[in-house]
Amino acid sequence: LSERLSGVFDRLTKQGALSEEDVKTALREVRVALLEADVSLPVAREFVKKVQDQATGQAVTKSVTPGQQVVKIVHDALVDTLRGEGDPGALKIDNPPAPVLMVGLQGSGKTTTTGKLAKRLKEKEGKKVLMASLDVYRPAAMDQLAILGTQIGVDTLPIVKGQSPVDIAKRAKQQAMLGGYDVYMLDTAGRLHIDEVLMDEVEQVRNVVEPRETLLVVDGLTGQVAVEVAEEFDAKIGISGVVLTRMDGDGRGGAALSMRAVTGKPIRYVGLGEKMDAIETFEPDRIAGRILGMGDIVALVEKAQETIEAEQAERMMKRMMKGHFNMNDLKMQLEQMQQMGGMQGMMQMMPGMGKMAKQVEESGMDDKIIARQVALINSMTKKERANPALLQASRKKRIAAGAGLQVSELNKLLKMHRQMSDVMKKMSKMGKGKMLKQAMK
Ligand code: GDP
Ligand code: MG
């Protein structure tokens, strides 16, 4: 994807707002890229349409190309789509003992993930966890979980040979109640492919324990297959979330997007290796970066935006903090405002000026008014500019006449100056560092 996209984007080097043509060209490639990253066709199509509407007409940040900007927009839209509601890492495990059912195909990483989550619950939330293997088909499966349990210091249900998965689930539930466990995790058996027997079995277990969470574990490298698996499990069993494993590999993560779009179920965790702490709460921007394979460009655009905002804020601060704020400063400010998209735009960026921006809006002040204000200031003498307190009635009349305007307009200007001085005094007290931070929020 990267090469293909950069090729197109290199051609989009002119600055300014994104034209419809820019966006279309870039998005054609984005769509191919999504498909290559295993995103399903309808999902890719719908996604591209959404981005197209968003991107057209957006201003291009200075120092990045339109192409890079489109990538950023696509990235943000991906993050938006991938993000579920609430905190993906917060498992519903109140009302102990809370059953957590782990389902998925064989080899997807269920047993490993069961151990990882148990360890997290124990260490991060201080929960008392019981794990039970319901895998009666592979002789080593139960031992595998028991070994993990010893390794991470989490109890496992004692192994009793010859029991059915449902019987084991019942035993686990009882043991969890008797033993005062907060959570009991049921690690089910998988098959290489979805089949009726597997589904029926998991369904029975579900009916017996009524899990608080049913987590589907899918191999992040399997792409489109993962989406089908998610659909089927959700339809038959009902899942509350997905754990994507093997994201430490070179999987594109496109399955995540499709899965989210198709099932509407949140991705909760990402497995990043075989070790017991190689698991993280799902973070949409990481996967988005993977899908696009262009994390560096996204970072670049973000950086450019931040730098520009910081530069603007800092320049303005410096000017305002310089000594007292007289008419010369105000004039400079006004001229600056004209360059920066008018008063309101600028004031909204300044701490403590939101209210004034509103007043400005209400008074219908626009850029023409700024020009008149500058004319008023030009009509003042040097002394008057340095010390606006000198302005008594006769001087006001002279100044207004000089600018060809009414005294009432001059009064408005003076009022605005007073208000701004007040704000500035407050800001000086706050200290510069704090102010800058606030300005950039
Ligand atoms: P199960 O059949 O679904 O229970 O799968 P297992 O938990 O036994 O995992 C199968 C294999 O995948 C094991 O060798 C695990 O160590 C490995 N595995 C599980 N999760 C991850 C992961 O996130 N990354 C990597 N690289 N390997 C994993
Ligand atoms: Mg297993």
Give 1's pLDDT tier (boundaries 50, 70, 90): very low
Superfamily of domain 2-85: SRP54, nucleotide-binding domain (1.20.120.140)
131, 137, 274, 276, best to mutate for ligand 1 pocket (most atoms within 8 Å of CB): 274
- All residues with CB under 5 Å from ion ligand 2: 110-111
Q: What is the pLDDT of residue 441?
A: 44
- Ligand 1 centre distance from Cα of residue 273 (Å): 8
Fold classified for 322-440: 434 Repressor (Amino-terminal Domain) (1.10.260)
Sequence ranges of the chain with CATH classification 1.10.260.30: 322-440
Contact in structure between 58 and 77 (CB atoms under 8 Å): no
Residue with tokens 């200031």: 377
Superfamily of domain 98-281: P-loop containing nucleotide triphosphate hydrolases (3.40.50.300)
Rg (CA), the chain: 31
Which is nearest to 155 in space by CA: 126, 181, 174, 116? 181
Atom of ligand 1 nearest to the CA of 249: 26
Residue-wise pLDDT for 24-50, tens only, equals: 877 887 887 788 777 888 888 888 888
Nearest CA to ligand 1 atom 16: 274
Sequence ranges of the chain with CATH classification 3.40.50.300: 98-281
Residues with CB under 6 A from ligand 1: 104, 106-112, 190, 217, 245-246, 248, 271-274, 278
* Side-by-side strand order, sheet with 267-271: 155-156, 129-133, 183-187, 98-103, 213-219, 241-245, 267-271, 279-281
Nearest CA to ligand 1 atom 28: 274
pTM: 0.66
Residue 62 is assigned to a ligand binding site: no
- Ligand 2 centre distance from Cα of residue 187 (Å): 7
Instruction: List the beta bridge partners of residue 279.
Output: 271
Rounded Cα–Cα distance for residues 134 and 142 (Å): 8
Is the ipTM higher than 0.90? The answer is yes
Report which DSSP code applies to 18. P
Q: What is the pLDDT of residue 224?
A: 74
Q: Which residues contact 396 (CB under 8 A, 6 or more apart)?
A: 407, 410, 411
Give 268's pLDDT tier (boundaries 50, 70, 90): very high
Q: Which of 71-80, 133-142, 169-178, 400-409 has the highest mean pLDDT?
A: 169-178
Q: What is the pLDDT of residue 14?
A: 47
Residue 246 is assigned to a ligand binding site: yes
Give 351's pLDDT tier (boundaries 50, 70, 90): very low
Rounded Cα–Cα distance for residues 168 and 146 (Å): 14
